[in-house]
Structure 1
């Protein structure tokens, strides 16, 4: 199982490794929470349009079965077999509150576990008020290579009409931990800007870092950038038509002296999605997914090839899902 991370721009992210998730999980949309169209979201989602069209790799054979028990309850099972990705069986589900009008609202609880190792994931989203969002991710148990993990990420957000204030804690302990405080404001329907303060403590040695973020977006175009004294992240997104999207990303990390540029695309037809990527490390790959609505299922194929290292990953995934009817 892939270990989650805090996904911030202070560290240079690597390409997504082969994981057991090829199709987006059918959690549910927060239909009970209606946000202002001018709300910019949080800084961690500043590059979301570009990240969403990047392929998600799968290695080996993955079989997934998801069944809706009700509008607010879903159970799922995953079985993964691979060479470089640890195989195994996982069982989980989703539960969210049900109102009298059968519209799902928060809290949303998503979890899965490996019965043999008890490696467990929990993801909880809760809106006590429409303007306040609380979220936590917990990962615990024994993972491959006999590695015991106990990771926790907790976030709190205040969502106003045109601004978002966020507070996030990553594995907070007395000896070590990380905290970020972010603010993002929409000046108009096209432009937003803000800042994020990072505070880390490790063995009584606190460290601070400040990053500036901005995004300009139109209906079919978007450019976003985050910059600090140790890193730079720039992303571009363009929608040529209703079927084709392009994205570009440039990430520079001064601490690791590493730079990574990526080009990606997404071509989406009625029941088919094709994604591709090439980067400055000469990693080339693509994914193909197709929904088979008559069979309430989907099939996906993934290819990833790194030319300098001559490494090749290939994956195939089948999904049975009652939502695909």
Structure 2
């Protein structure tokens, strides 16, 4: 739903930040929406690219802390194996095996379709993504750029032959602003419940962006029947750094990203909740060695948890090897993960 809401721990208990839990992936695979980049872009239909049409657009509120978040490693436990198989320029399938004592294990099949409407050098729509396991649990995504201004997304999750969660969102991009609306688990037939979140992000100067969010939830599980929270957000982009923050909903979320060199990046994150009366600070770094096709990400936080992920592309073969480790000193817990990607 957006990082502004996610940065409000005091509000996240009655109002989940996203009704669709993300599917487990091996680090390095990136967001599902970016999976279309692995398929060959179709011939352009003349529609101008979104980035070219709106060079001063600040992006979406969901990506407010993206620069800093991308530095942090996505640690995992157990073993993961993924096989990607392109069927055509527009269609790709993947087979995934997970072995874990903590996260759900087993086999999953996923498919990705990229349409003929090209909106940029490596961007085409519509994008259809689906993932299913042997038990019939299904998650589906549909993303489409209707016009250079309007982009929509629909997500659904089916478990035990029942629709457990739905989410619909729309982003309207202006010349120097973005307005977004997200609807989650809306039910107007039985008990008139659901979540509605609105975002607005405005570019004030070439380096400064300011925005706001309002979230409303209605349902029998919410104390008082309904609740509403608003948040404020800001981002300042320097030559080699990005500072961003959100405040609201009895919570504070601050991020700082800096690119120290071509091979080294840093990220610092602070999350504080007045309701929970706790704060957590995290530090992460990323080291890239392009000549060795090697990436290392590490992190440490104030809870004395240390984690790291190593990714190595085994060129010239289409293989990627990932090794993950995380250790919590107060709890004396150590977790190790190993992943292998083909394709």
Task: Give the TM-score of the pair, scaled to structure 1.
Answer: 0.88
> What is the alpha-carbon distance in structure 2 between the residues aligned to residue 73 and residue 189 of structure 1?
39
The answer (yes or no) to whether the contact 1:6–1:153 under 8 Å persists in 2 is: no
Structure 1 residues 146-205: Cα deviation after superposition (integer angstroms, max 9, x where no partner) = xx7711121111001110000011222243321111110112221100111111112272
> What is the alpha-carbon distance in structure 2 between the residues aligned to residue 227 and residue 22 of structure 1?
29
Give 1:18 deviation, angstroms: 11
The answer (yes or no) to whether the contact 2:2–2:61 under 8 Å persists in 1 is: no
4+ runs deviating over 6 angstroms: 100-103
The answer (yes or no) to whether the contact 1:19–1:57 under 8 Å persists in 2 is: no
Aligned residue in 2 for 1:232? 252
Say which structure, 1 or 2, has more relative contact order (CA 8 Å, 6+ apart).
2
The answer (yes or no) to whether the contact 1:69–1:75 under 8 Å persists in 2 is: yes
Aligned residue in 1 for 2:268? 248
Query: Which one of 80, 88, 95 corresponds to residue 98 of structure 2?
Result: 80
SS at match of 1:78: strand
> What is the alpha-carbon distance in structure 1 between the residues aligned to residue 301 and residue 115 of structure 2?
42
Gaps of 5+ in 1: none
Gaps of 5+ in 2: 13-20
Aligned residue in 1 for 2:322? 300
Give 1:104 deviation, angstroms: 5.5
- CA-atom RMSD in angstroms: 2.6
1:22 aligns with 2:27: yes
Aligned residue in 2 for 1:137? 155
Give 1:257 deviation, angstroms: 2.0
1:222 aligns with 2:242: yes
SS at match of 1:196: strand
Query: Which one of 196, 203, 217 corresponds to residue 186 of structure 1?
Result: 203
The verdict on how the C-alpha distance between 1:298 and 1:283 changes in structure 2, with shifts beyond 3 A counting, is same
Aligned residue in 1 for 2:233? 213
Query: Which one of 130, 141, 144 corresponds to residue 126 of structure 1?
Result: 144
SS at match of 2:154: strand
Aligned residue in 1 for 2:289? 269
1:165 aligns with 2:176: no
> What is the alpha-carbon distance in structure 2 between the residues aligned to residue 52 and residue 100 of structure 1?
26
Query: Which one of 2, 7, 18 corresponds to residue 9 of structure 1?
Result: 7
> What is the alpha-carbon distance in structure 1 between the residues aligned to residue 62 and residue 289 of structure 2?
29
Matched length? 310
> What is the alpha-carbon distance in structure 2 between the residues aligned to residue 18 and residue 316 of structure 1?
17
The answer (yes or no) to whether the contact 1:40–1:192 under 8 Å persists in 2 is: yes
Structure 1 residues 223-271: Cα deviation after superposition (integer angstroms, max 9, x where no partner) = 0010014111000000001110000000111222221110001111111
The answer (yes or no) to whether the contact 2:8–2:249 under 8 Å persists in 1 is: no
Structure 1 residues 271-318: Cα deviation after superposition (integer angstroms, max 9, x where no partner) = 111000101111101000011121111000000111111111100000
The verdict on how the C-alpha distance between 1:249 and 1:17 changes in structure 2, with shifts beyond 3 A counting, is farther
Map residues 61-140 of structure 1 onto 2, 5 A cutoff. Answer: 61-98=79-116, 105-115=124-134, 117-140=135-158
Task: Give the TM-score of the pair, scaled to structure 2.
Answer: 0.84
> What is the alpha-carbon distance in structure 2 between the residues aligned to residue 134 and residue 18 of structure 1?
20
SS at match of 2:50: coil
SS at match of 1:57: coil
The verdict on how the C-alpha distance between 1:193 and 1:178 changes in structure 2, with shifts beyond 3 A counting, is same
Aligned residue in 1 for 2:309? 287
